[in-house]
Structure 1
Amino acid sequence: MQAGECVWEKKDRRCVSMKNLQVRNSLILLLTALIWGVAFVAQSVGMDYVGPFTFNCVRFLIGGIVLLPCMALLKKLNPPEKRADGSGKEKKNLILGGVCCGVALCVASCLQQLGIMYTSVGKAGFITAFYIIIVPVIGLFFRKKCGITVWIGVLLALAGLYFLCITEDLTIGRGDVLVFLGALMFAVHIMVIDHFSPLADGVAMSCIQFFVSGGLCAVPMLLFEKPQIGQLLAAWQPILYAGVLSCGVAYTLQIIGQKGMNPTVASLILSLESVISVLAGMVILHQELSGREILGCILMFAAILLAQLPPLPRKTGKAGTQENG
């Protein structure tokens, strides 16, 4: 886009320069990362009152309810195009995508929630961020090639995980293992979203996934935890934060913020979630990391940055010409 061109926004009928739009969306994505980073604290504090399955069940149901008015608002601002055919297939993709995303999100979140019971908020945030490295690796099975920067990032991430999770006597904590398995499932969740998002409305699919996840979490909640109203009322602050802000608001902000943004830049901003989780754990919960764990965080963050960089240019046989690798 040339300098001086602008983007026309229907919302307020004003012309906004592309630069200003990107600055605004960058701030929106930064706010999203902030909400998600602090959410690790809410998840940790919430389990002082209720079990992990209860916490996830209630917060996902709240997140689904919060997205209902968001769906109505977005539909009003951007009315869907009327099409004579294909609506039945789109509805089928919407339901199937919502269910598949909901199952993956349920498994990933429950593993993460169980892991947070046995590890610190900061470590959980950085280990969870490992999904950014896992996604391009999984893509290899779908014939999506990775650049050299991704493989360097994988090696750095493995080294970071070693310092974060494995102690000097070569033992690994139960919580770290659970959070890592959760990161694997979050990578699967992203791949499922990647498949279905072009086929259906993203906000509607997210709303369905929250209700599906909440319903699935209700089964182990009733079998193993049997929550009481008093416990839920005692945990109302972390549950509402995780449900309203982390699920409902942050997801909507992500959709708005990523519009018109370079995906690499957007991912880099959102990856700050891991750093914020460490700072939030230190400030709010007074948790501290050892020098070994801080080194692991630094390596993990470097790996996350590398994984989001565009592939290095590759020279062709002709002098003076290049192509992306």
Structure 2
Amino acid sequence: MDKLNQPKKLAQSKFIVWSLMITITLIWGYTWVLMKASLDYMGPFTFSSFRFGTGALTLLLIVWITRLGFPPKRYVKPLMAIGFLQTTVVFTLVMFALMFVEAGKSSVLLYSMPVWSSLFAVKWLGEPLTRWRTAGLVSGLLGLLTILGWDIWLGQSLAVIAGELLIILSAVSWAGANILYRLKVSDLPKIQSSAFQMLFGVIGIFLATLVMEGGQSIDFTAESIYYIMFSGVLASALCFTVWYVIMSTVDMVTATISTLLVPMFGLLFSHLLLNEALTASIMAGSTLILLGIALTQIKIEPKA
């Protein structure tokens, strides 16, 4: 009974929930810099195979130590579908697109995910899209567009536009995985659900690697190994497990709109580590994103 009440107790502590959200968005934001830098050492699919292979092995080791074991049979197909949508599709398409699209812009496009998740949640989870939540999503989306630049489709090569469209498709795929998780496997232990969706998902990435990059050279250095270990253990194993905790605790809009912090942090780390400029549009867009997150937290109590 206590286990069933844990998500409810966690939901009552906004400080803990938002601390978790800020932690994972900081890590994910920094990881975008590493994902782009990894392309100097190996192909995009190869990096994703190493990243999620490391993440899956880390989680499976914890599953083994805690004796959680293999999930019940009824969860296997949903976990395979979530792994395909959230791990295989998202990170094969994103890593491929990074060859044509800047890291900062890629992260902004992927984190259009909250919009798709919120729309899907209305239809399949029955979560109301209130006036304040809608205003928050609109503000967040305007913030993303401001960071990108309103002339996003002008003066760009077809390769860049194709890459941007692939990233948007990734965002829709991730949103679908979020809904499927809430509908089918949210009652599983978070470590277990994260471990097996990642295991199933990395199989698809590995197959894509064999087809697209089989035989290509890999440059293992202290730096490239650090990229793999950080993104595998922290950004994948830890963060996606915490992500499932958050999605089981709060409503879909609150959970997903927090991820709009990721491109903000990604651009900040790009500025600090890669000397990329923090332009006026980035600052204005970031302000709109923070405003959007604040608006979704407004709750009007019904009159007695």
**Higher normalized strand content (fraction of residues):** 1
**1:41 CA displacement:** 1.1
CA gap 1:208/1:29 in 2 versus in 1, 3 angstroms: same
In structure 2, the residue matched to 1:117 is 99
- TM-score, normalised to structure 2's length? 0.78
CA gap 1:168/1:184 in 2 versus in 1, 3 angstroms: closer
Taking the TM superposition and a 5 Å limit, the aligned residue runs for 1:67-146 are 67-73=59-65, 75=66, 91-105=72-86, 106-142=88-124, 143-146=126-129
Partners of 1:168 and 1:47 lie apart in 2 by: 24
CA gap 1:215/1:248 in 2 versus in 1, 3 angstroms: same
In structure 2, the residue matched to 1:41 is 33
**1:274 CA displacement:** 3.0
In structure 1, the residue matched to 2:281 is 292
**1:246 CA displacement:** 0.7
**1:157 CA displacement:** 4.1
Structure whose alpha-carbon radius of gyration is higher: 1
**1:117 CA displacement:** 2.9
| Kept after mapping to 1: 8 A contact 2:114/2:257 | no
2:181 is the alignment partner of 1:182 = no
| Kept after mapping to 2: 8 A contact 1:122/1:274 | yes
**Higher normalized helix content (fraction of residues):** 2
Identify unmatched segments of 5+ residues in structure 1: 1-6, 8-16, 81-86, 315-319
- TM-score, normalised to structure 1's length? 0.74
**1:282 CA displacement:** 0.9
Q: CA RMSD in A?
A: 3.6
CA gap 1:273/1:229 in 2 versus in 1, 3 angstroms: same
2:138 is the alignment partner of 1:149 = no
In structure 1, the residue matched to 2:270 is 281
Counterpart residue identity of residue 187, structure 1: A
In structure 2, the residue matched to 1:203 is 191
Counterpart residue identity of residue 241, structure 1: F
Partners of 1:107 and 1:43 lie apart in 2 by: 16
Query: Which stretch of the first structure deviates more once superposed, 227-236 or 103-112?
Result: 227-236
In structure 1, the residue matched to 2:43 is 51
Counterpart residue identity of residue 291, structure 1: A
| Kept after mapping to 1: 8 A contact 2:42/2:218 | no
CA gap 1:262/1:205 in 2 versus in 1, 3 angstroms: closer
- Aligned length in residues: 289
Partners of 1:270 and 1:153 lie apart in 2 by: 13
CA gap 1:160/1:266 in 2 versus in 1, 3 angstroms: closer
SS at match of 2:288: helix
In structure 1, the residue matched to 2:5 is none
**1:300 CA displacement:** 3.9
Counterpart residue identity of residue 82, structure 2: C
Counterpart residue identity of residue 128, structure 1: L
In structure 2, the residue matched to 1:226 is 214
Partners of 1:92 and 1:26 lie apart in 2 by: 34
Partners of 2:195 and 2:187 lie apart in 1 by: 15
Partners of 2:248 and 2:89 lie apart in 1 by: 31
Counterpart residue identity of residue 224, structure 1: M
In structure 2, the residue matched to 1:317 is none
